[in-house]
Amino acid sequence: MLSSHHNGLKTAALLGLLTGLILAVGYWLGGSGGLVLAVIVSLAMNAFSYFYSDKLALRSMGARPVSEAEFPELYQMVRELAGEAGQPMPRLYVSPSMQPNAFATGRNPEHAAVAVTVGITRLLTLRELRGVIGHELSHVYNRDILISSVAAGLAGIITMLAQLAFFLPFMSSDDEDSPNPAGLLLMVILGPLAASIIQLAISRNREFQADASGATLTRDPLALASALEKIHHGTQRMPLPADGQLASSAHLMIANPFRGGGLSALFSTHPPMEERIQRLHQQASLTRR
C-alpha cells in the first residue's frame, strides 16, 4: 500500500532525526563516556523488551493459550485471515478480563500471538470479531512491534541522558561542579516528555494504519467500525487500573483500556475512537465506488 510505504518513510525519518539529536545531546552532556554508557544500557533494555515483549504483554492481561477445541470459531477466522495474507498461523490466547479488548504481540509473523478478552468474545458478533482480528494481524504484518521497540529504545536513551544531567556538569561557566539549574530543568523535564510525545505520535499513526490494513484484509471496513464503537463504550464502562505491567502494555491494545478524558486523553497512545470510526466509514465508501 502506498500509504503504508509513506508512513514507513515518515517514521524512519523521524527516528533518524531523533537518533542524531540523542547523539549530539549525549556528547554535549557527558562526552563520549556518558553517551556510550547510556546507549549500551538502553539498547540492552530494548533488546530484552523486543525478545520478551510478547510474554510480558500476555502476562499483564492474564492471558492463557487456548486450543481449537475451546474456540473453534476464533481459530477458523484467524486461520482464514492469516492464509489470506500468506502468513503463518499465530498463537491464540484468551484473557479472563470482561473488558472488551484485544491485542497482538510478537516481533514478527513467525513469533506472533493474538489475544482477545472473554469480554470481547461475548460483546461482538462474529463479523465484528473478524474485523478486530484483521486489525490485530495487521499490526504484526506492518512490523509495528519492531517500530515500537526501536522508538522505546530511543526514548529510553533520552530519559537516561536526562537522568545523567543530575551528575554531569554542563552549561556552567563559573563552577565546573555546579550544573546550571535551568539546563537541568530542561533536560530532566522536557527530554522525557519529548520522547513520550514521539512514542505517542508513532503509536497513534500505527493505529490508523492497522485499521486501514485490517479493513482491507477482511474486505469489511464497516465490521471493524461497528466493533470499535462497541469496544469504546465497553472500555469506558469497565476501565482497567493503570498500574504495573499493564500500563506499559496498553499501547498494544485495540482500545485504551484505561479511563479516558481530562489530561490523560492528551497522552493517550490511541487516537480518538470517533476519528478511527469515521475513517473506516470513508474507506467503506471508497470501496463501494
Residues designated catalytic: 136
CA proximity to 201, closest of 271, 272, 253, 143: 271
Residues 6 or more apart from 123 whose CB is under 8 A from it?
Answer: 100, 230, 231, 234
CA proximity to 253, closest of 151, 116, 123, 148: 116
Q: Are 104 and 47 in contact (CB under 8 A)?
A: no
Residues 6 or more apart from 198 whose CB is under 8 A from it?
Answer: 14, 18, 151, 154, 155
Q: Compute the distance between CA of residue 199 and CA of residue 209 in angstroms, rounded to an integer.
A: 15
**Maximum CA pair distance of the chain?**
73
Segments in 61-107 forming alpha helices (H)? 72-84
